[in-house]
Structure 1
Amino acid sequence: MKSNTTHKVNVIRCKNKNGEIRVKVNTKEETENPVLCVNARNDESYSFKVLPERQQKRTLIFIIPVAKLSPLNLYYDVFLEYKNLKGECKSEKVSNKSRIQRLFVNILHSRQQRVTYSGSNYIVTEYFSVGGILSFQVRETDQYDSLKYYLKEILACIIVPFVYWYYKDSKLTYEKFSNYARDNSFYYFSYVQENIKNNKLYFVIKKESPDLDNLLPYKKHVVYFMSIKHLILALVAKYLIASEAKGHLYTWRHNQSIIKFMLNRKPFVFLQHGVLGLKQVDKTFFANNKMNHADLFITSSEIEKKIVMKFLGYRSENVSVTGLARWDNQEVEKTEKKIFVMPTWRVQIELLSDEEFLASDFYQAYSKLLHSTKIKKVLHDNDYTLHFMMHPKFVRFEKYFRSNDQRIKMMHQSDISIDKELKSSELVITDYSSIMWDSLYYGHPVLLFQFDQAEYLRLQGSYFDFNKDFRNLIVKRSDTLLNKLDKFISGEEQVELQEYRDKYFAYIDKNNSQRINEAVNTWEKKYQFKSLFSKLF
């Protein structure tokens, strides 16, 4: 039984160094058989328990070997299990009742040590997560762990008081890892720059981004990632408006800093990366997520709006039906005799070793498709090509999908946008990816290759009944898919689209960004913004 009373187990001291984490706690009641539970947040198999090194009345000391914190699990939360003198079994979160002390640890990120796992360098960080729970993060080191960027953050904090009034009405937008300018954020940003005079919307992007040229016409409103200006704007911006979560506006998975602390407390307009529905989303964007919820949630239909309200917990006034900004892209791509294949990622495959991946049903299914004698014959006989692209989370497995056939090509998102591939293809094959919606919006046929539908629904879930809502698009067997491809290319069979377009899109035009901007303006006039100082306390 888990108690609802807060701070029954309070952290007195936590030393994170020399290959161990020494935790000293105080309990509100006397304990028997106490055990410290270090619970892996994503995969319970990495959880473990630690017996006390020393116990004196209600004071307990535990030593956690850092080597037991596996880097295959990113976050760990700490609880204390024990029996009280009444014989009751308890499980209490280990927390810190002092908000000031929690802020000190989380903002200054001073409680960390570097360790090596399998030849790679990692940082183990102590912090207090939502609810004040003592937590640990294990992440691989990167270039942003250097002193250079730490000093930049200090300098930005020093400068803020002198420029606050100039930038206080600014807004920030960005895309995945602040490395791209090709999705909904970019097209909304372009609309604002071309139609709204004296706007204060800035686009944050890395200097080495492959999409930097897309932003050249608007360079006065472009800010380089991790520059002093970026860090200043991250502190003082009025709100964020983007197609990705807040974490993409800062160094990835660097959770302990004043910059990340302030970003987590910014109002957020969610432009979405795609249409929601095929895949159940994690709790990142739930309405009750204190840090990452959307204050305005952009959708494309009344059906999608109902999903956001019913399953994510939003109120009607916080959800707007406008369509996606990227659908305003005026570029016309010539349709080629081409099939575009792009499966989405799988939660159970993401952390597999290469050997485990090669044994997976996912690899076997798509390898069979790409190396099929039949598909090669169909492509050659009809002068077609097949372009195959992996989801960004599976890029490390791309090397296993090479083909020696000149008509089957592996494509990379760093070289060509998904949007261009969709628009220039006669047929799109995906599975549970939201690119299905883009293909339908553009009027291009799409098939859903769901060979693992039962497993996917069990592990990931969907807000739709696949076999009812998309029965004419779903293919579950490789041989059936190959037959459908053959018939489509030869012209014997077509994929009907109109019923899906009529049902799932509120608008099919080039005014999505305009509607988004009107919705944002309406929301902004009603929203009660907090001062910079109040966000700290």
Structure 2
Amino acid sequence: MNTVKINSIKNLNGHIEIRIEADESHKNPILYVKARKEENCSLSFSPYSFNNNKVIFRIPASSLSYTNIYYDAYLEYINRDGDLVQERIKNSSRRKRLALNLLNLKHQRVQHSEHEYLVTEYFAVGGYLAFQVRETDEYDNYKYKLKEFLACLLAPLMYWRYKDSKLIYEKFSNYARDNSFYYFAYTQKNDKHNKLFYIITKNSPDIKNLEPYKKNVVYFMSIKHILLILISKYFIASESKGHAYAWRHNQSIPRYFLNRKPFVFLQHGVLGLKKVDRTFFANNRLNHADLFITSSEIEKKIVLDFLGYKEQDVAVTGLARWDNFKGLSKEKKIFVMPTWRVQLDLLSDEEFLRSEFYLAYSKLLHSTKIKQILHDNSYQLHFMLHPKFVRFEKYFMSDDENIKIIHQSEEPIDQELKTSELLITDYSSIMWDALYYDCPTLLFQFDQDDYLQRQGSYLDFQADLKDIIIKNPQILLKKIVAFMQNKETVNLSSLKQKYFSYTDQENSKRIYDSIGQWESSYQFKPLYKKHS
């Protein structure tokens, strides 16, 4: 089967004009634009014109809904044999693909209500035509394009100074409180000649944490930051590569270099309760980890069996943030933090308010019984949503003095865990942190059947965790009362022995040693060759 090829792409008065090579073997051609994450969202377009072995389509940029981020393009036609064929559209010229992706030449601005969106054409892995729709942000300003231009000019001059540098960061390069920060702090204290640089936004709530190490701090989207993306040897992070640069700005020269650099994945949590998407799979060309950090042999087996990594690509060390466990004094407090659900990603506000998730936690927060329980036992309840729910945070509130709605930007999760007497979550990996910190945990899985069908788990809930799983809201309240009055808990020691290879405070040292061993054997490709 011959892939349908593009002749040219133009932006014309709010339309994307696509010229495709076609002839008499492509009868009744129709262009389909399909949303990548929503199977039922597909747009079809008839030819604008068809002549001289070229079929021309014009797509109104505003027709690509902002509720879907990525779209792929297909041509459907009847071939010479009378078969209905549907093929992806590609550009076979690497030079033209790079020109479009690196220079970000093809985009249009579309107004939806009070927000402006950018519709961008680009070529995905394999050279296939795709579209991205994202809201415009400050990094679309031309001053950042100028910074990128200057960084590209400086890269050959500064290469030999920074060629051994490494970059480290956390979510959106806006935090310094997770595995990346604790590993970075370890290297600054124990390796005086390290060339590890921490990326952080200037207005980060955690900027104070980096004050002792400011000579190795670079500000997000500064010229030096972009320069180091171009030159640095590799990246280390607790998030994907995309968090090291302007979010979803996928077409630029820095992004091109970022995508091709080696990557050490410190992990954000521990694998087990939730099957992960393909972002970190070994066969993902853009985000796969060249070294994957894990906490136990059980987790390592998940990475090998389900994510497709090889033995030499995985290290069992423990998480860097666990080294900071200093046994803070406990407060009479219950910490409630549910994780996100894949089916809630694209819901409107009205649909979310009807969801089983919202109704379950709203009832818990507004329950007369939970308020009475907290009051009678002098306990506080702190409720925190996963960051992916940030646009729905406004719907979770309480007028009770013992119930506090908190946000991740206000209070680090590990601080909440270390000072709470009980954690209530569902499928979140923070369960493993709570276990490490000896914080009793209940898993409120009122939607377990639906969750397993949509998301899935690497563990057998009934075999592995049945003693702490609760499906009924009334039983959850009874368990909370029993805990407050009798400190009734499950024995954690057996779970710790099973799921953690180490429970000391040497995780960062093991990570450091593992990275050093990996680096010494990895075949790095130089950006420039030194001439004599």
Give the letter for the 2:458 counterpart.
Answer: Y
* TM-score where L is the length of structure 2: 0.98
Q: 1:109 aligned to 2:85? A: no
Question: How far did residue 256 of structure 1 move?
Answer: 0.4
Q: 2:487 and 2:437 mapped to 1: Cα distance?
A: 22
Q: Where in structure 2 are the equivalents of 1:144-223 lying within 5 Å?
A: 144-223=139-218
Which residue among 238, 247, 254 is the counterpart of 1:243?
A: 238
Question: How far did residue 420 of structure 1 move?
Answer: 0.3
Q: 1:495 aligned to 2:490? A: yes
Q: 1:505 and 1:141 mapped to 2: Cα distance?
A: 43
Give the total of aligned pairs.
Answer: 529
Q: Which secondary structure state, in structure 2, belongs to the residue aligned with residue 530 of structure 1?
A: coil
Corresponding residue of 1:459: 454
Question: How far did residue 55 of structure 1 move?
Answer: 1.8
Question: How far did residue 533 of structure 1 move?
Answer: 5.4
Q: Where in structure 2 are the equivalents of 1:10-25 lying within 5 Å?
A: 10-25=5-20
Q: Which secondary structure state, in structure 2, belongs to the residue aligned with residue 387 of structure 1?
A: strand
Question: How far did residue 519 of structure 1 move?
Answer: 0.6
Q: 2:236 and 2:192 mapped to 1: Cα distance?
A: 18
Give the CA RMSD over aligned residues: 1.3
Question: How far did residue 33 of structure 1 move?
Answer: 1.7
Q: Is the 8 A contact 1:333 1:424 kept in 2?
A: yes
Give the letter for the 2:250 counterpart.
Answer: N
Question: How far did residue 88 of structure 1 move?
Answer: 2.5
Deviations 1:32-57 (Å, cap 9, x if unpaired)? 12111111101123211111122236
Q: 1:58 and 1:271 mapped to 2: Cα distance?
A: 52
Q: 1:288 aligned to 2:309? A: no
Question: How far did residue 400 of structure 1 move?
Answer: 1.7
Give the letter for the 1:472 counterpart.
Answer: D
Q: 1:196 and 1:80 mapped to 2: Cα distance?
A: 56
Question: How far did residue 396 of structure 1 move?
Answer: 2.1
**Unaligned 5+ runs, structure 2:** none
Q: Where in structure 2 are the equivalents of 1:296-375 lying within 5 Å?
A: 296-375=291-370
Corresponding residue of 1:66: 61
- Give % identity: 61
Q: 2:333 and 2:414 mapped to 1: Cα distance?
A: 14
Corresponding residue of 1:523: 518
Give the letter for the 2:245 counterpart.
Answer: Y
* TM-score where L is the length of structure 1: 0.97
Q: 2:297 and 2:168 mapped to 1: Cα distance?
A: 26
Kindly report structure 1 stretches of 4+ aligned residues shifted beyond 6 Å. Answer: none
Deviations 1:236-256 (Å, cap 9, x if unpaired)? 000001100000000000000
Q: 1:489 and 1:476 mapped to 2: Cα distance?
A: 20
Question: How far did residue 19 of structure 1 move?
Answer: 1.3
Q: 1:485 aligned to 2:488? A: no
Q: Where in structure 2 are the equivalents of 1:70-109 lying within 5 Å?
A: 70-109=65-104
Q: Where in structure 2 are the equivalents of 1:247-286 lying within 5 Å?
A: 247-286=242-281
Mean Cα deviation higher: 118-127 or 80-89: 80-89
Question: How far did residue 330 of structure 1 move?
Answer: 4.6
Give the letter for the 1:328 counterpart.
Answer: D
Question: How far did residue 358 of structure 1 move?
Answer: 1.1
Corresponding residue of 1:39: 34
Question: How far did residue 25 of structure 1 move?
Answer: 0.6
Give the letter for the 1:478 counterpart.
Answer: P
Q: Is the 8 A contact 1:9 1:28 kept in 2?
A: no
Give the letter for the 1:45 counterpart.
Answer: N
Q: 2:334 and 2:325 mapped to 1: Cα distance?
A: 22
Deviations 1:314-367 (Å, cap 9, x if unpaired)? 001101100000000154421011100000111111222221111111111011
Q: 1:31 and 1:367 mapped to 2: Cα distance?
A: 55
Corresponding residue of 2:425: 430
Corresponding residue of 2:374: 379
Q: Is the 8 A contact 1:17 1:113 kept in 2?
A: no
**Unaligned 5+ runs, structure 1:** none
Question: How far did residue 28 of structure 1 move?
Answer: 7.6
Q: 2:414 and 2:91 mapped to 1: Cα distance?
A: 48
Mean Cα deviation higher: 473-482 or 344-353: 344-353
Q: 1:302 and 1:272 mapped to 2: Cα distance?
A: 15
Q: Is the 8 A contact 1:185 1:325 kept in 2?
A: yes
Q: Which secondary structure state, in structure 2, belongs to the residue aligned with residue 273 of structure 1?
A: coil
Mean Cα deviation higher: 457-466 or 96-105: 457-466
Q: 1:28 and 1:131 mapped to 2: Cα distance?
A: 24
Give the letter for the 1:155 counterpart.
Answer: L
Q: 1:88 and 1:352 mapped to 2: Cα distance?
A: 38
Question: How far did residue 271 of structure 1 move?
Answer: 0.2
Q: Which secondary structure state, in structure 2, belongs to the residue aligned with residue 398 of structure 1?
A: helix
Deviations 1:136-160 (Å, cap 9, x if unpaired)? 1010000000011010000110111
Q: Is the 8 A contact 1:16 1:126 kept in 2?
A: no
Q: Which secondary structure state, in structure 2, belongs to the residue aligned with residue 471 of structure 1?
A: helix
